[in-house]
């Protein structure tokens, strides 16, 4: 790793042979903003690969964003290419279909001969390996505020070609108190989590509200894409098994979370290929996968990717963890959502989806109305339970009408439970 000036790095980038190089960069809240600013100044046109890009990333003409998980920073851009795939499969992209010309990292200060990817490991090790195999450029922003985390994000200094030193604070998601609906959903999910369970939680108010209710549990484990402040609080409350490391791919939280993570041997940040491997997930005892969705249809198909027919996020790790949890000993795959979308004034329990499903065959669907225990039920039974126990009261009658129509099309009796 050779430390260079901003000017030297821009010159190296300007000399790239491709007219539209592909730049793979740290995503979520680990985006190296100073480094990407240099990229944007040096390259008239390029393709930028980020997971869950946050506001403020380059978005001018000439920049094409490509990603399997769309973040709020690029959600409404016309120059966006959504790549539909499970997060566990994304590393394969870099070996053949979409090899990187540049990998732009955000790393800690060196400790000895190593630096750390800090709060985001995810798909970056695979991108680095693909870049090194084809002689592409690996560069980094060295930031003293980036925590040093252990695991697959620890890199030998010679794995990085060029680096610039630039201090900038790490961003965090905005703090939002849980809504009454989220609290009601969390109260129901609380009954599904037992001592000794292994937790995977997604992003959002509902997972945060659930974690806040688990402080009295004991022996919990963590095998999750991300670690949030809610999991940190479980650690502080003694709910987590001290003999089991917290396994994740990235951090998503406050400065206090980042400070706790710095040099913490309890935390193991690993590659996406390992953390999101359904086979690895299934080895965890009582694996409890908790994810959210925008809507769930009467076939128990969850849509967490599309809103109003347009891409909103993507598969992410939801299908990986749903499959893994269902195969784990005493595992549960839970999808939680409000029963009513207030802004759009409509039910979130819907007739068959008109957009691609993100996941399906969950063990439980939970709203503030109740819990639908679906595993092992027939399809008509699942549909009736979704209507009766999770749908908003104002939507139940029309949904029952849909059930009867679908049953008539199949040539079987109605699905109303009597």
Q: Is 225 a catalytic residue?
A: yes
Q: How far apart are CA 385 and CA 402, in angstroms?
A: 14
Active-site residue, selected from the candidate residues 66, 120, 154, 225 = 225
3-state SS string for the chain: CEECCHHHHHHHHHCCCCCCCEEEECCHHHCCHHHHHHHHHHCCCEEEECCCCCCCCCCCCCEEEEECCCCCCCCCCCCEEECCCCHHHHHHHHHCCCCCCEEEEEECCCECCEEECCCECCCHHHHHHHHHHCCCEEEEEECCCCCCCCECCEEEHHHCCEEEECCCCCCCCCCCCCCHHHHHHHHHHHHHCCCCCEEEECCCHHHHHHHHCCCCCCCEEEECCEECHHHHHHHHCCCECCCCCEEECEECCCHHHHHHHCCCCCEEECCHHHHCCHHHHCCCCCEEEEEECCEEECCCEEECCEECCEECCCCCCHHHHHHHHHHCCCCEEEEECCCEECCCCEECEECCCCCCCCEECCCEEEECCEEEECCCCCHHHHHHHHHHHHCCHHHHHHHHHHHHHHHHHHCCCCCCCC
How many CA atoms, within 13 angstroms, populate the side-chain half-sphere of residue 351? 12
For residue 2, give the nearest of 128, 166, 158 by alpha carbon.
Answer: 158
Largest CA distance in the chain: 75
Q: Positive or negative, the Cα torsion across 269, 274, 277, 283?
A: negative
Residues belonging to the active site: 225
């Amino acid at each position: 790793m050779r430390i260079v000036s901003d000017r030297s790095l821009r010159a190296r980038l300007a000399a790239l042979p491709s007219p539209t190089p592909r730049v793979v960069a740290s995503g979520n809240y680990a985006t190296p903003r100073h480094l990407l600013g240099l990229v944007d100044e040096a390259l008239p046109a390029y393709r930028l690969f980020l997971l869950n890009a946050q506001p403020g990333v380059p978005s001018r003409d000439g920049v094409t964003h490509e990603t399997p998980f769309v973040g709020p920073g690029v959600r409404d851009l016309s120059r966006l290419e959504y790549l539909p795939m499970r997060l566990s499969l994304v590393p394969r992209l870099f070996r053949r279909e979409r090899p990187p010309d540049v990998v732009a990292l955000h790393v800690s200060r060196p400790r000895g001969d190593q630096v750390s990817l800090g709060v985001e490991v995810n798909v970056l090790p695979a991108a680095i390996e693909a870049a090194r195999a084809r002689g592409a450029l690996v560069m980094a922003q060295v930031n003293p505020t980036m925590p040093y985390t252990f695991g697959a994000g620890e890199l030998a200094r010679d794995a990085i070609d060029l680096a610039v030193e630039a201090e900038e604070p790490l961003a965090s998601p905005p703090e939002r108190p849980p809504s009454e609906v989220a609290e009601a959903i969390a109260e129901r999910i609380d009954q599904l989590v037992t001592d000794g369970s292994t937790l995977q939680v997604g992003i959002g108010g509902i997972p945060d509200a659930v974690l806040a209710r688990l402080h009295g549990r004991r022996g919990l484990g963590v095998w999750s894409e991300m670690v949030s402040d809610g999991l940190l609080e479980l650690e502080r409350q003694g709910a987590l098994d001290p003999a089991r490391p917290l396994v994740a791919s990235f951090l998503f939280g406050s400065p206090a979370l980042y400070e706790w993570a710095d040099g913490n041997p309890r935390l193991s940040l690993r590659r996406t290929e390992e953390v999101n491997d359904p086979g690895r997930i299934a080895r965890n005892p009582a694996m409890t996968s908790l994810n959210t969705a925008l809507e769930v249809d009467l076939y128990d198909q969850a849509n967490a990717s599309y809103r109003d027919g347009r891409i909103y996020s993507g598969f992410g790790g939801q299908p990986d963890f749903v499959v893994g949890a269902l195969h784990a000993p005493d595992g549960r795959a839970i999808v939680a959502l409000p029963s009513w979308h207030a802004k759009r004034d409509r039910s979130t329990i819907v007739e068959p989806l008109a957009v691609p499903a993100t996941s399906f065959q969950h063990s439980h669907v939970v709203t503030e109305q109740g819990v639908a225990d679906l595993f092992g039920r027939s399809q008509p039974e699942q549909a009736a339970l979704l209507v009766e126990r999770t749908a908003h009261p104002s939507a139940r009658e029309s949904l029952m009408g849909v059930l009867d129509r679908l049953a008539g099309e199949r040539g079987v009796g109605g699905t109303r439970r009597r």
